[in-house]
Amino acid sequence: MKIGFAARYDPRDKQTWSGTAYYTYQQLKKYGEVEIFQFPLPKLLQEWLTMQKSINRRWFGKQSSVEFLSAYARYFSRRLTAALKKNPVDILFVSASSQMIAEVKTDIPIIYMTDATFQQLQGYYQSFSNLPDYNIRQGIALDKRAFQKAAHCMLASDWCKQSAIHDYGMADEKITVVPCGANLDQVPMTGEIGSSQQGNCRLLFLGVDWERKGGAIALEAFRLLKKENTSATLRIIGCVPPVEIMPEEGIEVIPFLDKNKAEGMQQLHQIFLDTDFLLLPTRAECAGIVFCEAAAYGIPSISTNTGGVGTYVRGGINGYALPLAAGAADYALRINQLWNNQQELTQLKQQSRQLFEQELNWDAWGEAFKKIADRLLRS
């Protein structure tokens, strides 16, 4: 099977899309020859898009999502159409790049993967808020066309699936919800996963966006645990909290950890081994690769029931997703209840690892892709 991989970014680069493109690319290579379709943005179009951003910001006080403008989509769709005629493939896999196929002309079956529709991102992520009306109209239109051009959609969450059905009119049978996997090169053996250290509750906050990931809530929950005489530590990885709250006893901050380097991966490996809870009171989340990574290490996740989190954090199985309105006291209470019930905590740890092995891994994703591709090629 010859597979085309179309994206606006290089899937061989672990930095793109938090490594998700890289790990999907590795899976596709197991099932056939993979041809990458990626095109540079021409200078004139880049300058025009930059001008659009500047005009919207200076004159109208608006943000821009220029990747979701018709001109941007026309360019990539035309380039892809020409490339596929010159170098045809059996299956075209498109990774979170609706612009590539919104206007593509091909009879090759398309499998489209993404974690959100443009429609549901409006006002949900800060970068998709306060857009000009024309940007929203064009973005929704081209995103909807991309979904409808796909022979099948592999969506990262039930949340995304519901939007595809209700907002874009997609048929249920053309959608398969396939969770992402853990973006890790090293996964511990079950025997490596440590047990809780009674008396020292080790919390991990892992994310690059302090505000969106709910950093302030996590920090306050940690403080409340200490007030309740629960000996706790908090590691903050990937971002820097506001300077006025640091330093503080029991808190360790690692602003950046490079997963592309062996030493960075080894450091992350040890951090996960030394963690009892992933605490991520996120305000907005399309999927959350970090939940898969935590599950690989048997770490229960305490997060928020928002966006696609529910596909990854399942109440009473590998953690708990609290209501969006929950405050720091609610998170502290949930952690305290589990910490004081080691039997339940041990069960959550075991179930977290089981969920990783069954669903939240890239091999499971790859097997789902193969089944979908085989079915499309037979039809």
The C-alpha atoms of residue 290 and residue 283 are separated, in whole angstroms, by: 15
174 and 259 belong to one structural domain: no
38 and 147 belong to one structural domain: yes
229 and 374 belong to one structural domain: no
Contact present, 20 and 111 (Cβ < 8 Å): no
Say what the pLDDT of residue 60 is: 86
Say what the pLDDT of residue 246 is: 63
CATH number of the domain residue 213 falls in: 3.40.50.2000
165 and 233 belong to one structural domain: no
147 and 199 belong to one structural domain: no
| Positive or negative: CA dihedral 312, 313, 315, 319 | positive
131 and 221 belong to one structural domain: no
39 and 160 belong to one structural domain: yes
300 and 239 belong to one structural domain: yes
pTM of the full structure: 0.93
Say what the pLDDT of residue 198 is: 62
Residue 331: which domain range? 190-358
Write a three-state SS string for 21-34: HHHHHHHHCCCCEE
368 and 354 belong to one structural domain: no
231 and 173 belong to one structural domain: no
Say what the pLDDT of residue 195 is: 65
Task: pLDDT tens for the chain, 379 residues: list them.
Answer: 999 999 988 999 888 888 899 999 999 999 999 999 999 888 888 888 888 888 888 888 888 888 898 999 999 999 999 999 999 999 999 999 999 999 999 999 999 999 999 999 999 998 899 999 999 999 999 999 999 999 999 999 999 999 999 999 999 999 999 999 999 988 888 877 766 666 689 999 999 999 999 999 999 999 999 998 778 999 999 988 886 666 788 899 998 888 778 888 889 999 999 999 999 999 999 998 999 999 999 999 999 999 999 999 999 999 999 999 999 999 999 999 999 998 999 999 999 999 999 999 999 999 999 999 999 999 8
293 and 239 belong to one structural domain: yes
CA angle 194/199/200 to nearest 5° reads 60
Whole-angstrom CA distances from 356 to 206, 302, 316, 360 are 18, 16, 15, 4
295 and 170 belong to one structural domain: no
Say what the pLDDT of residue 59 is: 87
The C-alpha atoms of residue 52 and residue 293 are separated, in whole angstroms, by: 39
**Number of structural domains, the chain?**
2
